[in-house]
């Protein structure tokens, strides 16, 4: 099956309209006194920034999205803001993006918050929670349930300003070179799996390995790891996992709707004119829509490719095993929040919102999918 040719420029341009409208509407609702006190004065001053990512250079969707983000900002600012994008390893190692932006070595970064669990355990909740919310629901929590405020409160301690930078949607559980027929099959399993999902695996008796995407194929091929999760059919196909793994499992219990982030050095952000701050926000929301839409379209197409071209078996984790994993997940989260007051604050808010929106889902999407 060949990739379909599309008018990419036309496609991209349509995606930005909703985000720009939302941001414009928010800006219009600002307090008038604040507008008078801090007028939006546009100057000819230009800004040359660096954006570092955790993704390999020009990586499909993720790296491409970061490049488009920089392009949109340049276009919307009339060239006043020019951002150079660096893939993982080009300027800083992939998993040192947080430190680079925090320290001021780069003004911006793109990655996922669960990579920084060593800095703050609470950061993980802003990417995804096992058996948690899907992409639509977690966006709702962040924008209208208090998530954004908690995220920015946490990151302010590190001189960072976070923005939603995309979402992968529901992921696959991963590629395995051994069968998963019960919860006991996770014992002794060496798997690349970050975030809270990794902690669950360890409690199940496995070993969680955190490594950048550029190393996964080699590690799986050489047996350094027994399994790896990544994202979904599109990326997984391009990574070549279907050529070296026996089993492809679903569903992605560990990441039902993983938020990507754009982080900005807060000191640099605060020194920008108001219009450029708004442009960054608008470009971030545009990127959020572009990433999830691209993933959904491509995953549909590339699942068919995997089915047609690979001998790997696509399997479902059975409900009994999933129920056992869910129980362990609850134990892991309870242990975490009991030890970390910031993580508890974030999780309490997240859980309260999740209970309400799941109840609504019973009458909306959940009911629709059961037809």
Q: In a structure prediction context, what are the per-residue pLDDT tens digits for the chain, which is 371 residues long?
A: 434 444 434 423 433 433 333 343 434 444 444 443 444 555 689 999 999 999 988 899 999 999 999 999 999 999 999 999 999 999 999 999 999 999 999 999 999 999 999 999 999 999 999 999 999 999 999 999 999 999 999 999 999 999 999 999 999 999 999 999 999 999 999 999 988 999 999 999 999 998 777 789 999 999 999 999 999 999 999 999 999 999 999 999 999 999 999 999 999 999 999 999 999 999 999 999 999 999 999 999 999 999 999 999 999 999 999 999 999 999 999 999 999 999 999 999 999 999 999 999 999 988 888 77
Whether residues 272 and 189 share a domain: the answer is no
Token digits for 55?
């993704």
Whether residues 84 and 191 share a domain: the answer is no
Is there a domain that residue 358 lies in? no
Q: Residue 189's domain spans which residues?
A: 174-255+311-340
Whether residues 145 and 182 share a domain: the answer is no
**Considering the entire predicted model, what is its pTM?**
0.84
Whether residues 272 and 222 share a domain: the answer is no
Whether residues 53 and 112 share a domain: the answer is yes
Of 297, 320, 351, which marks where a domain is finished?
A: 297
Is there a domain that residue 218 lies in? yes
Which CATH number goes with the domain that contains 59?
A: 3.40.190.170
Quote the number of domains for the chain.
Answer: 2
SS3 (DSSP) at 118: coil
Whether residues 153 and 211 share a domain: the answer is no
Q: Exposed, middle or buried, 186 (CB in 10 Å: 0-12/13-18/19+)?
A: buried
Whether residues 166 and 178 share a domain: the answer is no
For residue 251, whether the previous peptide bond is cis, meaning omega lies within 30 degrees of 0, is: yes
Which CATH number goes with the domain that contains 212?
A: 3.40.190.10
- Cα 159 to Cα 131, 153, 343: the distances in Å are 31, 10, 19
Is there a domain that residue 357 lies in? no
Is there a domain that residue 356 lies in? no
Whether residues 152 and 272 share a domain: the answer is yes
Buried b / exposed e over 271-286, threshold 16 CB at 10 Å, is: ebbbbbbbbbbbbbbb
Whether residues 92 and 125 share a domain: the answer is yes
Contact by Cβ (8 Å): 188, 205:
yes
Is there a domain that residue 118 lies in? yes
Buried b / exposed e over 189-208, threshold 16 CB at 10 Å, is: bbbbbbbbbbbbbbbbebeb
Whether residues 218 and 240 share a domain: the answer is yes
Whether residues 112 and 57 share a domain: the answer is yes
CA atoms within 13 A on the CB side of 326: 12
Is there a domain that residue 370 lies in? no
Is there a domain that residue 347 lies in? no
Whether residues 263 and 251 share a domain: the answer is no
């Amino acid at each position: 099956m060949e990739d379909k040719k599309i008018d990419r420029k036309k496609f991209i341009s349509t995606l930005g309209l909703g985000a720009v409208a939302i941001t414009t509407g928010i800006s219009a609702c600002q307090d008038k006194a604040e507008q008078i006190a801090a007028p939006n004065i546009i100057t000819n001053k230009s800004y040359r920034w660096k954006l570092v990512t955790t993704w390999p250079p020009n990586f499909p969707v993720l790296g491409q999205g970061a490049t488009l983000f920089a392009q949109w900002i340049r276009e919307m600012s009339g060239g006043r803001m020019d951002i150079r994008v660096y893939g993982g390893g080009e300027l800083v190692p992939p998993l040192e993006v947080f430190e680079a932006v925090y320290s001021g070595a780069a003004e911006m970064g793109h990655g996922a918050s669960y990579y920084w669990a060593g800095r703050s355990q609470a950061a993980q909740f802003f990417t995804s929670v096992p058996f948690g919310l899907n992409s639509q629901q977690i966006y709702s929590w962040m924008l209208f349930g208090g998530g954004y405020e908690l995220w920015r409160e946490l990151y302010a301690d590190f001189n960072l300003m976070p923005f939603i930078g995309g979402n992968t949607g529901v992921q696959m559980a991963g590629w395995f070179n051994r069968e998963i027929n019960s919860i006991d099959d996770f014992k002794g399993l060496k798997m690349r799996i970050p975030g809270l999902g990794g902690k669950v695996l360890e409690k199940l008796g496995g070993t969680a390995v955190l490594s950048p995407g550029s190393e996964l194929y080699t590690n799986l091929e050489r047996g350094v790891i027994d399994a790896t999760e990544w994202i979904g059919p599109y990326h997984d196909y391009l990574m070549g996992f279907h050529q070296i793994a026996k089993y492809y499992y679903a569903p992605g219990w560990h990441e039902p709707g993983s938020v990507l982030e754009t982080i900005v050095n807060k000191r640099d952000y605060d020194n920008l004119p108001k219009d450029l701050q708004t442009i960054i926000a608008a470009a971030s929301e545009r990127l959020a829509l572009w990433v999830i839409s691209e993933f959904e379209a491509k995953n549909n197409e590339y699942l068919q490719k995997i089915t047609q071209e690979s001998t790997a078996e696509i399997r479902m984790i059975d409900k009994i095993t999933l129920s056992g994993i869910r129980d362990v997940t609850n134990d892991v989260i309870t242990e975490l929040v009991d030890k970390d007051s910031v993580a508890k604050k974030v999780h309490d808010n997240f859980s309260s919102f999740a209970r309400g929106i799941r109840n609504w889902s019973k009458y909306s999407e959940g009911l629709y999918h059961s037809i």
